[in-house]
Homo-oligomer: A and B are copies of this chain.
């Protein structure tokens, strides 16, 4: 455990990467708002503007908040594991609730306008994301927050939870790009190819979305930035390590 104990201090570059990710994430949210305000007439729950609730809610919920929920274990390195878990779970709940508002907005808008639902690749990917996101949250809650699951069961599930969490987040970013593209082509059509200001702004927004996704993934996957185990977890893992590796607790 000696080498791990050395990680308890926050790695030098981590705060800068986290700050950069937040700058990117907030820029994405602000730019989505600016796009809707400047070129789509703003946001309201009534009439044609109801559609605009959809992109803004999805970007706040399934991009910014979901991304930040993934970073909780990298940012809060010395709080208790339980506090960090609750924050991680709560951020995902906020993300899901805000995303559901966005989903209701687009279905309600389609219904009032008599448009078809769920025909596009964007909507298929979006539906997949929502179902997987909800399942991942439920399974995560039952494994990690309820006391029933054993330490060994949690240890085996954890890498799967992390992988699918990252995959769902990336699929959310991809779905946002598809939606942005759809919104551009429906409205601009052939004018998209004349470098209209709205098209250029939306392309830049798309690249920033990609940048946010890549930055969150980088922070998440860098092995020397992982959260160091706390004293409480080390105590918990004692029995398991003793059983499986034959280490004596005294050797820790």
Contacts and interface: CB of A to CB of B under 8 A. Distances in A.
Interface of A: 115-116, 119-122, 124-125, 128, 159, 163, 167, 170-171, 173-174, 177-178, 180-182, 184-186, 192-195, 199, 202-203, 206-207, 210, 214, 217-218, 221-223
Contacts of A214: 167, 171
Contacts of A210: 125, 128, 171, 174
Contacts of A182: 181, 185
B193 A115 contact: yes
Contacts of A202: 121
A193 to B, nearest CB: 4
In the A-B complex, list the 7 residue pairs whose CB atoms are closest, starting with the nearest: A116-B193, A121-B206, A185-B185, A121-B203, A174-B174, A119-B193, A167-B214
Nearest to A124: B203
Nearest to A167: B214
A194 to B, nearest CB: 7
Nearest to A207: B124
A125 B206 contact: yes
Contacts of A171: 210, 214
A121 B218 CA distance: 23
B207 A128 contact: yes
Contacts of A180: 121
B222 A159 contact: yes
11 contacts: A119-B194, A121-B207, A122-B181, A124-B203, A125-B177, A128-B210, A159-B222, A167-B214, A171-B214, A174-B174, A177-B178
The CB with the most chain B CB atoms within 10 A, among A170, A195, A199, A207, is that of A170
Given A121-B181, A124-B206, 11 more contacts: A120-B181, A121-B177, A121-B203, A125-B210, A128-B207, A163-B217, A163-B221, A167-B217, A167-B218, A177-B178, A181-B185
